Chains A and B, each alone.
Chain A
């Protein structure tokens, strides 16, 4: 019976999996028996400069910051879209003017909505 030409790949995969798993198992067993775990409030403290840690390392970012950034981005892009309209205004048909007005009105509606909901007030 001849072996499959790709049989060595299965063997290679087996060895490649077994070798690190074996080493990890040995390391785990060694840590369990010969490496004492002695956690404590100082050892688990956030910082390690020698001074007592005050608070944790979590930094609070306000979602409002991102909301402001998105609003700014929207109206920034609006200007970008309207600039070609403004440049080619005299050569455009009335349909283009209506499309531009719809675009501005939609964005204005969004602005009014955000304003009315109080999203523009910094809390």
Chain B
């Protein structure tokens, strides 16, 4: 049955669903983010939880103080190189399935501090990011939009077959290597399995 036919039946009050769809629907509407703010974006994240923006409408208001109880890490703000190993360690402590939102220009790329020696140029160098929310800082509505995008992503996940969800594939690691503080930079400066810097060929 095609999605259009199913949608047509749904409009007539006949609900057809699969176990997979039901499971994903439940997961996508009860995301528990980690209570974890790094910089200015965290203020916007906090604002998203207030009555005016009300992240509770999307079932994601239960910010957990422990990574062991959370399934979403919103990296909200500048990730300094001093903080990066801690972020990766917290990510490792989250149970599967888990998702990551990089909120704001700093979390995506270092943002205005990109040229600084102490700022990580994007958290996706160390942990896999599902949703990028641009902005400096992005408004709470942008975070809500990112959250709904993540919900769509979770709803599209498959429990079996060739396009099985990331967390169900046995070859994917449960923990990512935590970088050390090197003499001049983090060691390694990125996780080569996740991130390969683009090579910019010099023009003759």
Q: Which residues of A contact B (CB under 8 A)?
A: 34-36, 38-43, 45, 48, 50-52
Contacts and interface: CB of A to CB of B under 8 A. Distances in A.
B67 interface: yes
13 contacts: A35-B96, A36-B170, A38-B96, A38-B175, A39-B174, A40-B92, A40-B175, A41-B175, A42-B178, A43-B175, A48-B90, A48-B93, A51-B89
B167 A42 contact: no
Given A34-B159, A42-B93, A51 B86 contact: yes
Interface in B95-128: 95-96
Majority SS at the chain B contact face? helix
B interface, how many residues as a size bin? 20 to 34
Contacts of B170: 36
B168 A34 contact: yes
Interface of B: 23, 66-68, 85-87, 89-90, 92-93, 95-96, 159, 167-168, 170, 173-175, 178
A42 B96 contact: no
Which DSSP category, helix, strand, loop or mixed, fits chain A's interface? loop
Contacts of B87: 50
Contact of A42 (B66, B92, B95, B168): B92
Contact of A36 (B66, B67, B86, B96): B96
A43 B159 CA distance: 24
Given A35-B96, A41-B175, 6 more contacts: A38-B96, A42-B89, A48-B66, A48-B68, A50-B87, A50-B89
A43 to B, nearest CB: 6
